[in-house]
C-alpha cells in the first residue's frame, strides 16, 4: 500500500505566461525553500501532460498539488486528481489544490480572493489559508468524462475560447485577445438548436447563441457570465443567451463585464445541481469548453454530486 506523502507536488508549465514561467518560477522556488515548504517538482512538455503527471503523483501518494501556470494548467491538474478519485473511490477531500499564477487569464483565483502574486500564494500556504471547492463532473458526447473547476459552456462561450487559444498559440497575449475573440465570434457564429434540462425540468428549447456554466463567476480575464456563482455552495449556475438580433447582443456586452448580465431580460439564468444540454440536430452538436479548454462536443451532462476538494484560499479582504 502506497503511503501518503506530505510534501507538495508542483507541476510547472514552462509555456504559460507568454513563456515567462521560468523567470518567475526560479525565485518562487527559492521562496519555497526559505519558507520551509517541502516539495517535488515536475515539468510539463506537452498539452495534457499535467493531467498525466497529477494522476501518477496521486497514485504515488501525493495529496497536495500546485499548478504553476494559468487556468489551463489548473484544469489539467484537477482532471488528473479527479480521475484517480473516480478510479479508486478516494474522496477528493483528501486532496488540496492551488495555483501559482503565471497564465494570462488567472480567472479561477479571483473566485478565491487569491492574490495574483507567487510569493503571496506561498505565504497563504504557511498561514494554512484553505477552503473548499465543489467538484463538477462533465460527461460529453461519446461518454467522455471531464471535470470543471471554474467556468465552461458552449456556443459563443466555447468558440470564444477556441479563438483565444488559437491567438495564444500564434503568440498573442493580453486581456484584449478575449474581447477581440468575443467580437469576432459574435460576427461569425450561427445560433444552434438546443434543449436544456435543469434538475429534471426542461428550461429551454430552441435556437440559442450561448450557454455558460459556472462553478465560479469569472472567465475570459474578468468577464462575468455567471456573476452569482459560488465555488463551494454545491450548486451550478447557468446562463442561456437565446437567438437575438445582433444589435441586442452587442448592447449586453457591458453587462458581461459589470457582473449584471443575470439581470438582463434578454437572458435565462438560474441554478441547479444537474444540467443536460442536448443538440436537437446534427448541425448543433457544437464544441464545449471547460476552464477555457475545448473538451468535447454536445451533448453534455453536468453533475454536482456534493464532492469537494480543498483549495488554497485568500485571506478575508484579500484582492487578487
Residue 299 preceded by cis peptide, ω within 30 = yes
pLDDT of residue 320: 47
Is 80 exceeded by the pLDDT of residue 173? no
pLDDT category of residue 174 using cuts at 50, 70 and 90: low
Q: Lowest mean pLDDT: which of 58-62, 173-177, 198-202, 217-221?
A: 173-177
Give counts: helices (H), strands (E), the chain: 10, 15
DSSP 8-state symbol, 50: H
The candidate with the shortest Cα–Cα distance to 240, out of 260, 270, 215, 216, is 270
5-134+308-312 and 139-306: identical CATH topology? no
Is 70 exceeded by the pLDDT of residue 161? yes
Sequence spans of domains, the chain: 5-134+308-312, 139-306
Q: What is the mean pLDDT of the chain?
A: 91
- Measure the CA dihedral 143/149/154/155, to 10°: -160
pLDDT of residue 19: 62
CA angle 153, 290, 90 (to 5 degrees): 130
Is 70 exceeded by the pLDDT of residue 1? no
Cβ neighbour number for residue 3 with a 10 Å cutoff: 7
Contact 189, 156 (CB under 8 A): yes
Cell numbers given for 277: 444540454
Contact 288, 162 (CB under 8 A): no
Whose cell is 476538494? That residue is 309
- Find out if CATH 3.40.190.10 is the number for domain 5-134+308-312: no
Is 90 exceeded by the pLDDT of residue 18? no
C-alpha neighbours within 13 Å on the C-beta side of residue 313: 16
Locate the DSSP E strands across the chain.
5-12, 39-43, 62-69, 96-101, 130-139, 145-148, 151-155, 192-198, 201-214, 236-242, 268-272, 274-279, 287-290, 293-297, 300-312
What is the arithmetic mean of pLDDT over 70-85?
Answer: 96
Tell me the per-residue pLDDT of 221-279, one tens digit each, with 9 for 90 and over.
Answer: 788 999 999 999 999 999 999 999 888 888 888 898 899 988 899 999 999 999 999 99
Hey, is 89 helix, strand or coil? coil
What is the arithmetic mean of pLDDT over 6-12?
Answer: 97
Is 60 exceeded by the pLDDT of residue 319? no
pLDDT of residue 23: 85
- Find out if CATH 2.60.200.40 is the number for domain 139-306: yes
pLDDT category of residue 82 using cuts at 50, 70 and 90: very high
What is the arithmetic mean of pLDDT over 104-125?
Answer: 91
Query: d(Cα 206, Cα 136) in Å, to the nearest integer?
Result: 26
Amino acid at each position: 500500500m502506497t503511503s501518503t506523502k506530505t510534501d507538495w507536488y508542483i507541476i510547472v508549465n514552462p509555456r504559460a505566461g507568454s513563456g515567462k514561467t521560468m523567470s518567475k518560477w526560479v525565485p518562487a522556488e527559492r521562496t519555497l525553500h526559505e519558507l520551509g515548504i517541502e516539495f517535488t517538482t515536475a515539468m510539463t512538455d506537452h498539452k495534457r501532460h499535467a493531467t498525466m503527471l497529477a494522476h501518477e503523483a496521486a497514485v504515488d501518494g501525493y495529496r497536495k498539488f500546485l499548478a504553476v501556470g494559468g487556468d489551463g494548467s489548473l484544469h489539467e491538474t484537477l482532471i488528473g486528481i479527479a480521475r484517480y478519485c473516480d478510479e479508486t473511490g478516494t474522496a477528493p477531500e483528501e486532496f488540496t489544490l492551488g495555483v501559482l499564477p503565471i497564465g494570462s487569464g488567472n480567472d479561477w483565483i479571483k473566485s478565491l480572493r487569491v492574490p495574483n502574486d507567487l510569493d503571496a500564494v506561498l505565504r497563504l500556504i504557511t498561514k494554512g489559508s484553505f477552503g473548499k471547492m465543489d467538484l463538477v463532473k462533465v460527461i460529453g458526447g461519446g461518454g467522455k468524462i471531464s471535470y470543471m473547476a471554474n467556468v465552461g459552456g458552449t456556443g459563443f462561450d466555447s468558440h470564444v475560447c477556441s479563438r483565444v487559444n488559437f491567438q495564444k498559440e500564434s503568440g498573442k497575449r493580453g486581456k484584449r485577445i478575449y474581447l477581440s475573440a468575443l467580437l469576432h465570434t459574435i460576427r461569425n457564429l450561427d445560433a444552434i438548436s438546443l434543449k436544456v434540462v435543469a434538475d429534471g425540468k426542461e428550461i429551454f428549447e430552441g435556437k440559442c447563441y450561448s450557454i455558460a456554466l459556472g462553478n465560479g463567476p469569472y472567465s475570459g480575464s474578468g468577464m462575468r457570465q455567471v456573476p452569482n456563482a459560488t465555488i463551494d455552495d454545491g450548486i451550478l449556475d447557468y446562463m442561456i443567451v437565446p437567438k437575438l438580433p445582433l444589435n441586442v447582443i452587442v448592447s449586453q456586452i457591458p453587462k458581461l463585464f459589470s457582473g449584471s448580465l443575470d439581470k438582463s431580460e434578454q437572458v435565462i439564468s438560474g441554478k441547479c445541481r444537474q444540467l443536460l444540454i442536448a443538440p436537437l440536430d446534427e448541425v448543433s452538436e457544437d464544441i464545449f469548453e471547460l476552464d477555457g479548454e475545448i473538451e468535447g462536443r454536445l451533448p453534455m451532462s453536468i453533475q454536482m454530486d456534493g464532492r469537494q476538494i480543498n483549495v488554497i484560499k485568500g485571506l478575508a479582504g484579500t484582492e487578487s
